[in-house]
């Protein structure tokens, strides 16, 4: 690290239950230097998060603090296999956020593995959304397998997408159980016609660069046109006939 530069430490749990305290009492530390000294801590996380947490710190001796519970040495690693059987796949979540157009009943979408289209993990069929959903954002959390590749497919039965003839709809897929502006996996601008398909992998490596709004971008408020007062008819000035001599 470069001294006096600001860094960010991000920790992610693919099972969406943090490091503490349902399946253990984990925690995380960032130390200044090469030794784990309890008075040289730059960042600390108690593990009580869900999917991920971020900490910013400055790589400087003036930024350290003391954590009394910080471990003073690297714990020993046992070569014996754990007696607790681990699951075959680490389950995670993605969050789909869709801003619907003026005709929500035309919109449907699904998520399925890239290698097996018939194994749909989640589907919002046509009719899921009604007229009361018009122009609103609807979100849905979907359980998926971490580090697995999926397809997000969105369909418009009328064939004009969800933007921009009858509304300004769009759709985002976020990594994690809630929308986060720096965890975007898919951006659909709504101009897909009949069908839009996006391939993504449930991994931080597949997150799109840059930052996006925490929920699909809001539709600008329409401009209200003020009805002017009616213009009165102009008064017609009649020119009298000349007086005869």
pLDDT tens across 37-65, in order? 888 888 888 887 777 777 767 787 877 77
Q: What is the DSSP string of 169-216?
A: -EEEEEESSS--TT-EEEEE-S--TTEEEEEEESSGGGPPSS---SSS
Q: Is the pLDDT of residue 167 over 90?
A: yes
CA distance 142 to 123: 10
Q: Which two tokens stand for residue 111?
A: 């998520």
Q: Which residue has the tokens 């014996």?
A: 80
pLDDT tens across 177-223, in order? 888 888 999 999 999 999 999 999 999 889 998 777 655 444 444 44
Q: Are 31 and 71 in contact (CB under 8 A)?
A: no
Q: Is the pLDDT of residue 164 over 80?
A: yes
pLDDT band at 242 (very low <50, low <70, confident <90, very high): low
pLDDT band at 139 (very low <50, low <70, confident <90, very high): very high
Q: What is the mean predicted confidence (pLDDT) over 91-95? A: 82
Task: Name the pTM for this structure.
Answer: 0.58
Q: Are 124 and 156 in contact (CB under 8 A)?
A: no
């Amino acid at each position: 690290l470069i001294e006096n530069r600001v860094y960010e430490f991000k920790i992610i749990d693919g099972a969406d239950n943090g490091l503490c305290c349902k399946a253990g009492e984990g925690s995380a530390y960032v130390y200044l230097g090469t030794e784990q000294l309890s008075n040289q801590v730059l960042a600390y996380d108690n593990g009580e998060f869900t999917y991920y947490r971020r900490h910013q710190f400055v790589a400087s001796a003036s930024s350290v603090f003391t954590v009394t519970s910080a471990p003073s040495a690297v714990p020993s690693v046992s070569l014996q296999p754990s007696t607790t059987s681990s699951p075959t796949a680490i389950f995670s979540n993605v969050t789909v956020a869709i801003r619907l157009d003026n005709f929500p009943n035309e919109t449907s979408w699904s998520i399925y593995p890239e290698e097996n289209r018939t194994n749909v993990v989640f589907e919002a069929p046509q009719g899921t959304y009604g007229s009361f959903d018009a122009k609103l954002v609807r979100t849905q959390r979907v359980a998926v397998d971490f580090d697995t590749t999926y397809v997000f497919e969105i369909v418009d039965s009328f064939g004009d997408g969800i933007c921009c003839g009858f509304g300004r709809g769009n759709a985002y897929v976020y990594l994690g159980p809630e929308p986060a502006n720096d965890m975007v996996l898919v951006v659909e601008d709504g101009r897909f016609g009949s069908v839009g398909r996006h391939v993504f992998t449930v991994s931080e490596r597949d997150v799109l660069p840059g930052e996006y709004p925490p929920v699909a971008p809001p539709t600008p408020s329409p401009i209200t046109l003020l009805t002017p007062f009616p213009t009165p008819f102009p008064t017609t000035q009649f020119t009298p006939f000349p007086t005869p001599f």
